[in-house]
Structure 1
Amino acid sequence: MNPQNESLLDYKTQDYGHDPTEVRHTDTYTDEYVRGFVEKWDELIDWDQRWAAEGDFFIEQLQSRGVRRVLDVATGTGFHSVRLIEAGFDVVSADGSPYMLSKAFENARRRGHVLRTVQADWRWLNRDVYGRFDAVICLGNSFTHLFSERDRRKALAEFYAALVHDGVLILDQRNYDAILDHGFSSKHKYYYCGEKVSAEPEHVDEGLARFQYSFADGSVYHLNMFPLRKRYTRNLMHEVGFQSIDTYGDFLETYHEEDPDFFVHVASKQYDEAEIVEEPSAELPKEAQQ
């Protein structure tokens, strides 16, 4: 085995330095998903429970738009890629973490599928992923790994460019508005449904949501993420070029703002001559606008 490839399989510990709450950089995410964390990820995301909780929401959204080719840009351990393949979609699976892609490939193989995987940084997505897609999906709160507005705009522009002229982007995020304004409270009904596993914020401010993931064997891991507000995310998608955006709260079209654990944005690229009225911009700390 090539020594470089062998080093990718090593067990390493997460290292945030002497002050983890000051680690607010997009490039950190590849080092956060160490092998030990990835191997436990499916304990956190129980596939059967998540399948039951989501129902056919994403499948119906894609089918209603005549989607055939899907690019899953945050494949993780493969849950949505496998689900969409089994629903008849043509799927390409991308992720920035080699550990995640390896686990996703293994999970899919156990279910009788061969994933087409690509390791790619969203900011240069079209350098590594070829062709155009009817839909791009970015799920699992993954977009909040981007800490600067410049990186978010670049990633959204890459998603936009990867789509055909009438394509759709489906992107989700935690309800950080509720966490920032009212404190953390979660039903853990849809995404983090593993038993005897907890996912809770250790530190939250306007520029950082540091979550702690605790497992039944006593192991603990962390992720540093940017707490995106819903209005800001929607406006940014509009500004990049998406024409219309529908936002669902835990897969429901009607909801109270503080209730959902997650928001799901369904953004259409299709050009509409009708004027789009943007919501007032949400304030962001200066470091997030760089």
Structure 2
Amino acid sequence: MSADKVFHSRSQGIPSEGVKDQYADGKAARVWKKYIGDSNQRTKNYRDFLSGLLRKHGCERVLDVACGTGIDSMMLLDEGFKVVSVDASDKMLKHALKARWEKRKDPRYDEWVIEEASWETLPQDVQAFLPGESFDAVICLGNSFAHLLDEYEDQRTQKMCLRNFAKVLKPGGLLLIDHRNYDAMIDSGATPGHSIYYNCRYPVDIKTSVLVVRGKPELVALDYCIDAAEDELNTEKSEFRLCYYPHKLDSFTRMLEEAFDGRATHRIFADFQPLAQVREPAYYIHVMQKAMD
């Protein structure tokens, strides 16, 4: 039984065939910029963690496979990395393209590649606009991968997409991918209140719903309510729903290691700190280093 037969998994107005693009009506895409803020509002811990790890491993060419509005990509461009940004949502990419145009006088942004691409066909899509290209690092952060739901109930699509991430990496390259602490959310029915990525200046309330099918958690729905009443361009509360596959830490760890055929070095961080130092993190961040062959 699909989750959408139990309750609506999308903001109102998104057609049924838009399940894989939960931003397809443009509503969440517009509000999302308020939630995440601009690139200067990224948390310092996140900026230092990401850029420091990439530099430590000599990464220069980075593929952002869930670029959304482009906020992570812009942060990396400002840090001196060469970035290629892709997303399956053309509504989100419009914001990234607009940001590139606004920065067109900055030579770093002239080289910023922004294209629409699907995780399911990522190697072919990349070859179509950058033949022969591979990357020092692939990033899929901000709980983006959990947007991909388990349509066949055996995670085959998720496993294929993780393999595709590994395929576009150079030998020795890094995959950085994260997910929320769904173990805690399933147990408590609540979403940890703090965010390690965003410094939203508006009050945000998140209502958490866990869908259990045949005794197994199959979907988590987060209803976001952002009170931007003081914003002169928006005098109402902004509400939208996004749905996620509830990846548990142990099973996601196994799936990642299988995607690299058990030959990658795998480290796990909790809210950008060593795993053992955080009792109940909001996010788990996985760092996979591809074998040198």
Aligned-pair identity in percent equals 30
- Residue-pair matches, total: 256
Aligned pairs (5 A) from 1:30-179: 30-47=21-38, 48-111=40-103, 112=106, 113-114=109-110, 115-130=112-127, 131-148=133-150, 149-179=155-185
Q: Is the contact made by 1:26 and 1:146 (CA closer than 8 Å) also made in structure 2? A: no
Corresponding position: 1:227 with 2:246:
yes
Look up the SS of the partner of 1:82 in the other structure.
helix
The alpha-carbon distance between structure 1 residues 35 and 17, as it changes in their structure 2 partners (threshold 3 A), is farther
Residue in structure 1 matched with residue 285 of structure 2 by the alignment: 264
Q: Distance in 1 between matches of 2:205 and 2:175?
A: 27
Q: Is the contact made by 2:10 and 2:241 (CA closer than 8 Å) also made in structure 1? A: no
Q: Is the contact made by 2:23 and 2:92 (CA closer than 8 Å) also made in structure 1? A: no
Q: Distance in 2 between matches of 1:225 and 1:238?
A: 21
Per-residue CA distance 1:171-200 (angstroms, 9 max, x = gap) = 011011111123324232323431334252
Corresponding position: 1:180 with 2:178:
no
Q: Distance in 2 between matches of 1:177 and 1:195?
A: 28
Letter in 1 for 2:285: V
Look up the SS of the partner of 1:245 in the other structure.
strand
Q: Distance in 1 between matches of 2:44 and 2:64?
A: 20
* Deviation (angstroms), 1:218: 1.9
Q: Distance in 1 between matches of 2:198 and 2:43?
A: 12
Moved more, 62-71 or 181-190: 181-190
Q: Is the contact made by 1:175 and 1:229 (CA closer than 8 Å) also made in structure 2? A: yes
* Deviation (angstroms), 1:240: 1.3
The alpha-carbon distance between structure 1 residues 79 and 269, as it changes in their structure 2 partners (threshold 3 A), is same
Give the TM-score normalised by the residue count of structure 2: 0.80
Aligned pairs (5 A) from 1:208-287: 208-216=219-227, 217-241=236-260, 243-255=264-276, 258-271=279-292
Q: Distance in 1 between matches of 2:49 and 2:242?
A: 27
Letter in 1 for 2:74: V
Q: Distance in 2 between matches of 1:31 and 1:259?
A: 28
Look up the SS of the partner of 1:91 in the other structure.
strand
* Deviation (angstroms), 1:52: 2.6
The alpha-carbon distance between structure 1 residues 232 and 188, as it changes in their structure 2 partners (threshold 3 A), is same
Unaligned runs of 5+ in 1: 1-15, 273-290
Per-residue CA distance 1:51-93 (angstroms, 9 max, x = gap) = 4342311111111111111100000111111111111111100
Q: Distance in 1 between matches of 2:207 and 2:102?
A: 33
Per-residue CA distance 1:179-238 (angstroms, 9 max, x = gap) = 112332423232343133425244113111001111222231111110101111111111
* Deviation (angstroms), 1:119: 0.7
Look up the SS of the partner of 2:42 in the other structure.
helix
The alpha-carbon distance between structure 1 residues 104 and 52, as it changes in their structure 2 partners (threshold 3 A), is same
Look up the SS of the partner of 2:193 in the other structure.
coil
Give the TM-score normalised by the residue count of structure 1: 0.81
Q: Distance in 2 between matches of 1:180 and 1:267?
A: 26
Q: Distance in 2 between matches of 1:123 and 1:160?
A: 12
Look up the SS of the partner of 1:107 in the other structure.
helix
Q: Is the contact made by 2:47 and 2:75 (CA closer than 8 Å) also made in structure 1? A: no
Q: Is the contact made by 1:145 and 1:225 (CA closer than 8 Å) also made in structure 2? A: yes
Q: Distance in 2 between matches of 1:107 and 1:187?
A: 29
Unaligned runs of 5+ in 2: 128-132, 212-216, 228-235
Letter in 1 for 2:148: L
Q: Is the contact made by 1:157 and 1:240 (CA closer than 8 Å) also made in structure 2? A: yes
Which of 218, 237, 252 is 1:207 aligned to? 218
